[in-house]
Amino acid sequence: MTNRTDGVTGSFPKDTDMERGSPVSRRHEDGKACLVKWKDKKSVPLLSSAFGIKPESSCKRWAKELREIVEVKQPAIVSSNTYMGGVAMMDRLISYYQISTLTKKCLRTFFEYGNLQRLDYVYSSLQAM
């Protein structure tokens, strides 16, 4: 995890010390954001202002060592990724359909707004299908 967390990550345990399915959370000083480190196969850093660890649910994952499907505890913050699909799709579509005439600073904002309008139209037409 990078320096964007304002030094909160120094108190997180190492990946080797965590077991699969174990979450560790730290709350920002103002209490508006919760930073969670969840160990699945690898560690997953998650940041949310709406969700935290509780309530924990369980999910089914393949355990390579045991060669079977096992139940793994999952914090509530992981479910917030379900609702972030539109944001990720918008970022991906913007990277596909970049306008090459973004060289002048005064026109950059105008063309970025045009990009967003076109992507919104494409996304809404795909949703209607």
Give me 126's structure tokens: 């795909």
Give the pTM: 0.51
Confidence of residue 92 (pLDDT cuts 50, 70, 90): confident
Length of the chain (residues): 129
User: CB pairs under 8 A, 24+ apart, for 38-47?
Assistant: 38/74, 38/75, 38/77, 38/78, 39/15, 40/72, 42/15, 43/15, 43/18, 44/78, 45/1, 45/9, 46/75, 46/77, 46/78, 46/80, 46/81, 47/5
Contact 38, 89 (CB under 8 A): no
Share above pLDDT 90 across residues of the chain, in percent, rounded to a whole number: 0
Across the range 64-80, mean pLDDT stands at 80
Which positions ≥6 away from 76 have C-beta within 8 Å?
Answer: 51, 52, 53, 54, 55, 56, 57
Question: Which pLDDT value is given to residue 100?
Answer: 56
